[in-house]
Structures are given as C-alpha cells and as structure tokens.
Amino acid sequence: MLLSDDPDRYYHLAVSQHWRWREGLFVQSFPNVEGLGWGNFFPDKEPFFHVLTGIAYFLKSSFGVFLVPVFAALALLLVLVVLVSDSRRLWIESGIFLSLGILGQSYFLNRISMLRPHTIALVLFFLLWFCFEKTKKVWIFLVSALFALSYHAIYLPLALALVDGVTRWQSKREWNLVFYKPGWFCVLGLALGTAISPSFPGNILMSL
C-alpha cells in the first residue's frame, strides 16, 4: 500500500490535476470547490508541494502523485543518514539503524506515507539542519524559501536558526548573535517564500 488511509489525499490529488506548467509555476485555479472563488484564483498555502505533485501527475497520472510521499520518505532517510554519519563516516551502520528505527515506529511510518505537505517539509527541515551544520548560507536561504512554500509552520526553521546561533555563541564560534549571518539568510529565505506564496498574507496568520 503506497499511502496511508488518509482522506486528505483526495484533495491533494485533485489540486495536482490542475497544475499546468504553461499557466505558471503554481496552481492558478481550483474550481472543484464552489463558493470560495477558487475557480478564479487559488490561494494555495503549500504551493511547492503541489508543484511536485503536479509534475508527478503530469508524468504518471495518479500513480505518480502517490509515489511522491514514497520518494519523500526515501529522501528523508538519506538526509538523516548524512546528518547522523557525517562526523564518523558510518554510512552503512547509520542507514541500517535509522531504517530499522523508522520501520519499527508504526505511527511515524504512517505519517510519512501520507500524501501531505509535511512529508516534504520534514525533508527540507533536516536538509536545512545539515546546511546550518556546514554553514552553507546560500543553501540556507534557498531551503528556507522552499520550506515557506511547502508548509505553514515557518517557526520551525526560525527555531532551528535560533538554536544553531545560541550553540555557536556558547561555543565561541559566533561572538554576536545580531550579526549571525546564517540566521539572517534563513530569515530572508523564509520572508521570500512567504511573500511569493499565493496565500500571502494569510500564510502568516496560519503560522502563528
């Protein structure tokens, strides 16, 4: 079974069917829902997720969309393996350990198999964590922007930036948090992703 038994998958599948690459990057209209004006303009609050599912639908119809959480779960496992094993180079051991840990948690396994935007957000969050570890400022900016376009909980990357900044300050690697550049790159990326989202400014209220 490729997906958990989640009713939201029908909504995301329907939105994916309305993605048209000739009409713009994001889904422009969603006439399936009446009375909200979405047939004229669709204020999508997770546009990047629906770009991915829209491309998947364009390539492989419904089956392609159902494969999105599968590939997201594999990408999440890969990012976690890189994070855990980066310092010790224990790639195989880390992969086996994490795979068994994920497979042994039925609730987590069910969550990451859902056709929902949090699957992509998890991948981006841990990828952002890796970028902070390596101080990749440009990548921090890009991944933060994609996170804001994928999921409404932009306070999660902000919390990650704060924790990383405080950790660096305590270890004397960062003398002044005000001039902590990786954190500001994260803030700017989130601001850009939030501003260009079709649901702006409503996405700000959803993140509170």
pLDDT score for 28: 76
Contact residues for 26 (Cβ-Cβ < 8 A; gap 6+): 44, 47, 50, 51, 198
Q: Is the pLDDT of residue 117 over 50?
A: yes
Residue corresponding to tokens 């850009």: 192
Q: Contacts by 87-93 with C-beta closer than 8 Å and gap 24+?
A: none
Give percent above pLDDT 90 in the chain: 21
Q: Answer whether the bond into residue 201 is a cis peptide, omega within 30°.
A: yes
Kindly state the average pLDDT of the residues 27-53.
80
Q: Strand locations in the chain, DSSP E?
A: none
* Separation CA 38–CA 70 (nearest Å): 29
The pLDDT tens digits of the residues spanning 125-179 come to 999 999 998 889 999 999 999 999 998 888 999 999 988 888 877 766 656 666 6
Kindly state the average pLDDT of the residues 43-47.
84
Global confidence as pTM: 0.82
Q: Is the pLDDT of residue 104 over 70?
A: no
